[in-house]
Amino acid sequence: LGGSFSSAIVLLGQGEIQGAVEATDPIEEFERRQSLALREGVADSLSDLAMTWGMSWVDIARILGVSVPALRKWRLGEAKPKRDNRKRIAHIVGLLSAMKAVGVVEPAGRLSVGVVDDSYLTLRDLVASASVTDVLDYVAGRLAGEELLDKNVDGWRERYRAKIDTYVAADGERAMRMRGSQDL
């Protein structure tokens, strides 16, 4: 994959990337949706994150560093978030739209899984600190996960090293195993 994000076809061989994508520039899409979200207001943006993107309140709250009850108050108009948080909510809306434009099937899901095998850090942990360009480069396969973490998280290899793998066991439930060991 070379050239700009506006490539009409994205073929990366990754499970989460669709074969064909609309010719939308993801950065423009980010800016357009972010701007729209700021105009629409917090309640609409939060509903959009839940209804359109399938994000959980828990994940949204964690990205913003607030509690789920606080989100509920904002959504119901019982309290107003500060300007920083309004911008952060609009940022998430814009980012998910841009990820979709890059070809990510479920952007909210992409935020919740590990960036690299060796660490349990997820994109959700990086939303507040990483640049939009870096995140989009990463999900488009133009930036390795290690590079994304090197740029944004000091000492991630030591501080956030994954000891276990999760997998689906024979009974259909998720299970843990030490890295490098066999399925039960």
The one among 9, 79, 105, 144 contacting another protein by CB under 8 A: 105
Q: Tell me whether residue 25 or residue 44 sits nearer to another protein (CB atom).
A: 44
Q: Is 142 in the site for another protein (CB under 8 A)?
A: no
Query: How many CA atoms does the CB half-sphere of 118 hold within 13 Å?
Result: 10
What's the Rg (C-alpha) of the chain?
A: 18
- Segment contacting another protein (CB under 8 A): 79-87, 136-144, 148-156, 170-178? 170-178
Give the residue carrying structure tokens 């207001």. 41
Q: Is 50 in the site for another protein (CB under 8 A)?
A: yes
In whole angstroms, how close is the CB of 115 to another protein at the nearest point?
13
Q: What SS3 string covers 6-47?
A: CCCECCCCCCCECCECCCCCHHHHHHHHHHHHHHHCHHHHHH
Phi, psi of 97 (to 5 degrees): -65, -40
CA angle 109, 53, 101 (to 5 degrees): 80
Q: Is 18 in the site for another protein (CB under 8 A)?
A: no
Q: Is 73 in the site for another protein (CB under 8 A)?
A: no
Are the C-beta atoms of 133 and 27 separated by less than 8 Å?
Answer: yes
Q: Is 118 in the site for another protein (CB under 8 A)?
A: no
Using CB under 8 A as the binding criterion, the count of chain residues that bind another protein stands at 37
The one among 11, 12, 16, 133 contacting another protein by CB under 8 A: 16
User: Which residues contribute to the site for another protein (CB under 8 A)?
Assistant: 15-16, 47, 50-58, 68, 71-72, 75, 105-110, 112-114, 120, 160, 162-164, 166, 168, 172-176
